[in-house]
Structure 1
Amino acid sequence: MERLFDGHHSFEEIAAGLPASPRDLVTAAYLKRMAEPSGSLLHAMLVNDVTCAGWRPGVPVRLYAGRGDKDVAVANSRLCLKELKASGVKATFTDVGNVDHMTSPFRALPRILDWFTGLRGA
């Protein structure tokens, strides 16, 4: 890794030099600690796990996510929905399918446009 990120390699050279899976960049102990956090790591995770805590929009909210997204866990949207509803916010969640992070917006945007168009006519 150090030899790739020395400031002298292009993006293409770095990409070609990386392993096929990010798991090959970390140790088994690291993966275990991430899967079963405890102590100060767990505390830091809990402190930072504030998906929508404290957010109280005065308008209805619609959340969209794809359950196939490997970049942002769909659980984040579901937790946000739960937190919003618990605070009295009118919110809904739509699973746009078993699609990746880049496809999710293409599935969601027509639905969002339809919603906004409907609001304009209301």
Structure 2
Amino acid sequence: MAASPRSDHQQEASDIQQAARIHQRWLKSVLGLGALEAKLWVVSSAQLLALMCGVVFLILTTWLLIITTGAAVAWSYGFSLVGILITATLMTFISAVVLLYLVKRTLHGMNFTRTLDAIIPTDEE
């Protein structure tokens, strides 16, 4: 006995609904994974920022004390005040350039491509 066109149409509609539900669940899990990674990234970044504030304060204080100590020793040996200030300025500038390099390198390492590659691999893999 042949199936009626009505039951074939109902079966097809049921299959389409089931495929849509499967795709919705898949999309929900993908978006959930992305949201979870973003949440972990934000929490880790906030913690890192809080710790770095303390570290920056201590390093800045230490760096200024090192420059001041060097300036005081140079002054006691008779170096000119202008030479001491120029040297301290150059040391501060060079250290700022080094820190800027480290910041750029750190920012380059922070990306979301690992999650995207885990979900949708590229053709090269």
Tell me the TM-score normalised to structure 1 length: 0.27
Q: Mark the structure with the bigger radius of gyration.
A: 2
Instruction: Please state which structure has a larger fraction of its residues in helix.
Output: 2
Tell me the TM-score normalised to structure 2 length: 0.26
Which structure ranks higher in relative contact order (CA pairs < 8 Å, sequence separation ≥ 6)? 2
Instruction: Please state which structure has a larger fraction of its residues in strand.
Output: 1
